[in-house]
Chains A and B, each alone.
Chain A
Amino acid sequence: MIRLGLRIGVLSGFRTTLPTLVTAFAAGLGTLLMLLLLSIAPAMHARADRVAWMDAPAAAATSAVPDDATFIATSPDYLGGESVTVVDLAGTGPGAPVPPGLTALPAVGDVALSPALAARMSSHPDSAGRYGTVVGVVGDAGLGGPDALVAVRGVDLHEAMLVGTPVQAFAAAGEVFQVQGMEGVLIVVAAVAMLVPVLLLVTIGAHLSARSRERRFSTLRLVGATRRQVTQFAAVEALVPGLLGVMLGCALFVALRPAAAHVSYDSGRWFVRDLMPSTPALVVVVVGVPFATMIATMLTIARAQRSTLNTTGRSRASHVSLWRMLPLVLVLPVAYLLVSGTIAAQVFGGGSNRSTAVAFALIVVAVLFAGPWLTQAAGTVMARSGRAGLLLAGRRLTDEPRGAFRAVSSVVLAVLITCLFIITTPAVAETLASTDGSGQRAGTARASIFYASPEQSETVRRLLSDMPGISAPALVYEGTLESSVGAVRAWIGDCDAIRQGARLTDLPCGKTPVLATAAAVDTLAAADANGGGTTLNSVWAAEVSSLMNPPVGVVNQITVPAGPVTPIPSLGGADMPDVIIDPHAVGEPLSTLRPTLLVMNYANDSALERARTVVLQQVPGAYISTRQTAYDGYSQDVRRLYRIITIATMLVFLVASFSLAVSALIGLVERQRPFALMRAGGAPLSVLRGVVLLESAVPLIVGAVVATALGALVGLWVAAAAGGAMSLPWVTLLLPVGAGLAVCLLMTAASVPFIGRITDGNAARFE
């Protein structure tokens, strides 16, 4: 029975093979996408586990040195603009634990590099020797991915104890970052948007095959097959494409896994072997996809059997009402109030991300609801035209506006998401840069040297001042000024040196020993209420004590004598001072403190890399930041979100374009006879081609225009609510949307060459 079912259902010619192939292709695409999506969580966990050893638990400050422990401290660095994780290790005994990826702890002055960092350093000669003598390679077991830039160096135990945390066993399980709020909503939306076209493809394949099956099953019943036998035939037929699809999907997954490993939301490539769904998930996909395909196909066949009488002729069009536009009109003001925060604050307690997600979801639903009416309206305009091609395509759109729009709905969704994010992301990033971000001037670098003694600091400063490409290095003592009015940041250092080193060209040096921004003047006055001067907290003692962990506990206080203050404009950013104090005003007590900051100018990237190398060689745990690296940290979340959305929308465009191409092809196969007879009657091939293209392109373009407009509008609202500029980045907006649409149209056009073949003389001859 199964063999007979296979013979008559699957192997009986092009018209029955095509639906099988389409359904199998759809199931294959679905399997591939599901396997990829289901691989993400295991890969994220595997990555988190691999790097878990670097996250040592914070330990309380202790003077006790545990036996057989390893002190670990991590600090960030940059090489050629890429983030490097520097891990300092020192063992306290022969049984000190060794992190994964290494066979032994590096000796003092030695370093093991990840392969990617080793390669990168070899192309940046200015970084030679930055982390110590390279003695080995960090293995995959200790790295998040093949592109991870990690340096694991051995340091003096005293130095390690100064900076690090002791561990007696490295953690093996890490924590995956939690997807929350809008990010989570969008990932779900993107996943759904990816699977929808696949479901659509399965439905299209099933629908197509229902036509040919109807007649065949009637014939089988006529020659005496029982209903049960016919059901068995149908089940066999429906199962075959699902099984073929799973095989195709698994093969594609294996083939594309190395390429998919390049697509990541944050720190570079995945290890290919990490991209593997869990066994239960794998079983669910392998069993579930054929089963789901079979159910979908059989449901379609059952529906087709019920409507046998009206499958070829068409009596009335299934028009959609103008009411479909109402939600779209209503949802716009609601979305505006949600995004701008008026309702958001009341309903969501000011949670703007959630309210933006709700607004976006409302708009998506409204657009998907209004789409068929817009398609119908476009079709009506086309059908009024005097041109045969426009009439034929327009009438088909007005007849089946829901079906026509359904085929393009996932593309419309992709356009909507893309537009929203293209507009929102730069605005948010710009906002971050201008408000919470770095106030550091371009072309300046600042080395945080908490653990350097005053002598070490001076040595570094001297080395840097002799270095070509580096100029005006200046040492700064950082402190905090607190009063009943608030807390402000203070820098103690030579005003002229700071002006040059940090490029604060507007500083009016030389007038008074103390310079303060308008905000800080009040704090100074409040702190100096009794006229005895101002006390600065959190300045650092000159002596670099061992075992001060966490280090921020060891601070000194100094008093700045009362006196006149020169007002200065705000220097901006969370990393800039509000008060600048001349060292002479502090006097002798300065000798009890140590500088913690070194500001300098750099002429080019090469000089910057040389400066990093010198500072890291001299000072344990030092960190050099520039405007770019500060911004890098601030905008990390935004960029991660942007990458996820970009990947998701690219996939949606890709899958949706496949779905479009197939639905165009199937629309053609369904109308093979009228098209072939029209061609026999002399209809030019170009007209028939135009009809097929217009049927897909018009709803696509109409939907895309509406989606672009709405996505841009919501994006502008979000940007405005976040305090960003209300300008529309036309080029960055239209380029990806245009490229995505072009791909979709090209895929649709891929069905055009078939038109000539399936409408030639032979097509008119048979039937």
Chain B
Amino acid sequence: MDDLTERESAVRGVPGRTTAEVILQARDLRKAFGQTPALGGCNLEIARGEIVAITGPSGSGKSTLLHCLAGIMLPDSGEVLIQGRSLTAMTDTERATLRRTTFGFVFQFGQLVPELSVLENVALPLLLNGVRRREALAAALTWVEVFDVQDLVRRRLGEISGGQAQRVAVARAMAIEPRVIFADEPTGSLDSVSGALVLDALVQAVRERDVTVVVVTHDRDVASYADREILVRDGLIASEPLASTRVEMGA
């Protein structure tokens, strides 16, 4: 993505910065599923290194917004820009390459391949990127240590707890050293203690590496880790409350 046009823009709400590099931008995103509207024209900008929580009630369109921002789904109209480049104008292959090389993903469950060991699961995105097996496994080993699951490297999905599985998923998302991590209810299936462990590890890792995080959640505790909270209601962005005080809590 080195050839991407870099753009600078003023972004409110990022502590310690008056201006920051805008990494992700949405312009008038609209999306409907059949007769049911999911997004009714969303605009937002997210800066490099920012942790943004997208919150809202069930069915408000927050997951759809995340999927559109990540290029998993195309909006019916509107535009998503990643570092100034239109994601909506890319081909399917280009978007897949972008997701594989620039984005990391953490979902609520079911993202680990049950046939692979923990280490192989973490190395999988690197293998998909064409990294040699030995190097991919070595890099994966670094990341399992970062997320404190190094004792589980040989285990399978059925042999680890839900919290451990989510930490493995975060390690996998970080393994490609992404610019943006998209997380959809990353702690939705965990208890509060396990959830906190996962989020603590994630936030620490992204802060050190200046990685942007977009997290969809309806959990106040999760939202409290964010620099900024974007409230989605009925497919529209209802508010963008400043989160300067919460950053220190989460950091």
Contact = CB atoms under 8 A, between A and B. Distances in A.
Interface of A: 310, 312-317, 384-388, 391-392, 395-396, 399, 673-674, 677-685, 687, 761-762, 764-765, 767
B246 interface: no
Interface in B60-88: 63-64, 67, 70, 72-74
B157 A314 contact: yes
A399 B63 CA distance: 34
B67 A315 contact: no
A391 B130 CA distance: 13
B195 interface: no
Contact of B115 (A384, A392, A682): A392
A674 B105 CA distance: 13
B183 interface: no
B60 to A, nearest CB: 14
Contact of A761 (B73, B93, B111, B159): B73
Contacts of B120: 391, 395
Contact of A682 (B110, B116, B128): B128
Contacts, number: 103
Interface stretch (B2-10, B96-104, B203-211): B96-104
A388 B132 CA distance: 10
- Among A386, A388, A392, A396, find the residue whose CB has the most chain B CB atoms closer than 10 A: A388
B67 A388 contact: no
Contact of B159 (A315, A677, A684): A315
B114 A682 contact: no
A392 B116 contact: yes
Interface of B: 63-64, 67, 70, 72-74, 93, 96-101, 103-105, 107, 110-116, 120, 124-125, 127-128, 131-134, 136, 156-159
Given A761-B67, A765-B67, A681 B114 contact: no
Of the listed residues A314, A673, A767, the one surrounded by the most CB atoms of chain B closer than 10 A to its CB is A314
A109 B99 CA distance: 89
B127 A387 contact: yes
A765 B68 CA distance: 11
29 contacts: A313-B157, A313-B158, A314-B115, A314-B156, A314-B158, A315-B158, A386-B131, A387-B127, A388-B124, A391-B116, A391-B120, A391-B127, A392-B115, A396-B115, A399-B115, A673-B110, A680-B99, A680-B105, A681-B103, A681-B104, A682-B98, A682-B99, A682-B103, A682-B125, A682-B128, A683-B100, A684-B96, A761-B72, A762-B73
Contacts of B111: 674, 677-678, 681
A677 B115 contact: no
Contacts of A681: 99-100, 103-105, 111, 125
A430 B107 CA distance: 68
A218 B73 CA distance: 33
Do most interface residues of chain A lie in helix, strand or loop, or is the interface mixed? helix
A679 B92 CA distance: 11
Nearest to B93: A684
A677 B107 contact: yes
Contacts of A765: 63-64, 67, 73
Given A313-B156, A387-B127, A683-B128, A674 B99 contact: no
Contacts of B158: 310, 313-316
Nearest to A767: B110
Contacts of B100: 681-684
A316 B107 contact: no
A679 B124 CA distance: 12
A680 B70 contact: yes
A674 B64 contact: no
Nearest to A393: B115
A392 B117 CA distance: 11
Nearest to B97: A682
B128 A684 contact: yes
Contacts of A315: 156, 158-159
A385 B115 contact: no
